[in-house]
């Protein structure tokens, strides 16, 4: 705990976490490593399957883009310690609903801390990434990866929007239809390999237009990146 000049006592760990790495710009590897730590904290012994993890990752990045990974980890650490008003009963499922309950409880605590230290935070200059930096980072992550699953492209909505605005993404109608066809076939193949609750969850995900739209953007970015490197 830290005592500020105004006499307030705040949680120093939360305060430091505000200036960490944003979830929407975090590399997939780093996110996975931190999730493994969280699973250990929670006592989750069954690691999500590939398709399930894809849904979890997309939910985290799209729902909490401006939270830092440090905040995300601290939220679950505090929940386990009983410092947040939420349940840590997970039933071996790190589901979006469970994540939402913990982060909602953390947010209440974080807002209290942020109000207390707002003058201090205003003095801290947060590094700003240019649009080109954001695109370059995502491009390098993909080109240096195994390149075996377009769903692994992260920050797709942000990067797609930047490139579209810059006029660098230009697809003919038949190319867009081909992207949609590939995404649908890929989803169907994945669904046929799943069983029980995993199949049910993934089936619900691919009914979500926003989820499929993001998948299409990811595949479009892959085609763009690989076109530049060829």
| Proportion of the chain above pLDDT 90, given as a percent | 40
Please say if the pLDDT value at position 21 is more than 50: yes
Average pLDDT of span 14-32: 84
The pLDDT value recorded for residue 119 is 53
Q: Give the C-alpha distances (Å, rounded to integers) separating 3 from 6, 9, 15, 17, 19.
A: 8, 4, 12, 17, 19
For the residues 15-44, what does the mean pLDDT come to? 88
Residue 179 pLDDT > 80: yes
How far is residue 39's CA from residue 202's CA, in Å, rounded to a whole number? 21
Report, in this order, helix, strand and coil percent for the chain, each rounded to 5: 65, 5, 30
Average per-residue pLDDT for the chain: 85
Most confident segment among 63-67, 101-105, 124-128, 168-172? 101-105
Sign of the CA dihedral running 132, 72, 153, 208 = negative
Burial of 113 (0-12, 13-18, 19+ CB in 10 A): buried
Model pTM score = 0.56
C-alpha–C-alpha distance, residues 141 and 69, integer Å: 18
């Amino acid at each position: 705990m830290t005592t500020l000049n105004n006499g307030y006592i705040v949680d120093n760990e939360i305060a430091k976490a505000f200036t960490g790495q944003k979830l929407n710009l975090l590399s997939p590897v780093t996110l996975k490593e931190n999730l493994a730590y969280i699973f250990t904290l929670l006592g989750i012994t069954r690691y999500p399957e590939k398709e399930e993890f894809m849904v979890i990752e997309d939910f985290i990045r799209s729902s909490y883009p401006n939270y830092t990974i440090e905040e995300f980890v601290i939220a679950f650490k505090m929940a386990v310690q009983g410092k947040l008003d939420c349940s840590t009963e997970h039933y071996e499922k790190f589901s979006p609903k469970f994540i939402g309950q913990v982060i909602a409880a953390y947010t209440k605590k974080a807002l209290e801390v942020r109000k207390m230290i707002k003058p201090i935070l205003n003095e801290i200059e947060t590094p700003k990434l240019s649009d080109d930096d954001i695109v370059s980072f995502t491009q390098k992550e993909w080109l240096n990866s195994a390149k075996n699953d377009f769903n692994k492209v992260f920050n797709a909505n942000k990067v797609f929007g930047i490139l579209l605005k810059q006029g660098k993404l230009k697809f003919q109608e038949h190319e867009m239809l081909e992207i949609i066809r590939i995404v649908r076939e890929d989803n169907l193949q994945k669904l046929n390999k799943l069983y029980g609750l995993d199949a049910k969850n993934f089936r619900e995900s691919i009914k979500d237009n926003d989820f499929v739209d993001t998948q299409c953007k990811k595949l479009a970015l892959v085609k763009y990146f690989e076109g530049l490197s060829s």
